[in-house]
């Protein structure tokens, strides 16, 4: 199985936060569907795959206990206000420009060790689309 990894990054958060989110685009280049089943990192006590469901003005986060489907030859983007890696219990604050080691574990493909670069938080939602 072959999984292409695109643009791994994490959000810069305020110094007092013990949580952070990580993002990456995954494209399954294999012959059959796969699944991201977990992520591990030493930067936090717990690393999970989470999703956000937005209904009107309310957004609710929830863990993806069964992982995240990766259909063949389709990009799945982990992004703000969507699927993401959720780091809970950070061992120390993240610093802009820092590289965070993370290992992605799949149901079929071999584990992938990646580095997320910590970036500024940026805009969320319709602001990212340039809408008023």
Residue 73 forms part of a structural domain:
yes
pLDDT, position 123? 54
Full-model pTM: 0.86
Residue 126 forms part of a structural domain:
no
Neighbours of 33 (CB within 10 A): 14
CA triple 6-9-11, angle to 5 deg = 150
Residue 132 forms part of a structural domain:
no
Alpha carbons within 13 A on the beta-carbon side of 26: 30
pLDDT, position 59? 80
SS3 call for 57: coil
Tens of each residue's pLDDT in the chain, 132 residues: 699 999 999 987 777 779 999 999 999 999 999 999 999 999 999 999 999 887 888 888 899 999 999 999 999 999 988 999 999 999 988 989 999 999 999 999 999 999 999 998 765 544 444 333
Residue 53 forms part of a structural domain:
yes
Cβ burial of 130 (10 Å; 0-12, 13-18, 19+) is: exposed
Which range marks the domain in which residue 79 is found? 3-121
CATH code, 53: 2.60.40.1890
Cα–Cα nearest to 87, from 35, 24, 40: 40
Tally the domains of the chain: 1
Residue 130 forms part of a structural domain:
no
């Amino acid at each position: 199985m072959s999984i292409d990894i695109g643009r791994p990054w994490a959000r810069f958060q305020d110094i007092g936060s013990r949580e952070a989110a990580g993002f990456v685009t995954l494209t399954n280049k294999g012959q059959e569907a796969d699944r991201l089943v977990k992520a591990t990192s030493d930067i936090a006590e717990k690393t999970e795959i989470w999703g956000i469901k937005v209904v009107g003005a309310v957004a609710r986060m929830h863990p993806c206990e069964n992982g995240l489907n990766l259909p063949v030859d389709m990009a799945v983007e982990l992004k703000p206000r969507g699927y993401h890696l959720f780091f809970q219990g950070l061992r120390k604050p993240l610093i802009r420009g820092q590289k965070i080691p993370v290992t992605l574990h799949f149901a079929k493909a071999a584990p992938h060790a990646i580095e997320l670069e910590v970036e500024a938080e940026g805009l969320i939602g319709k602001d990212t689309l340039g809408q008023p």
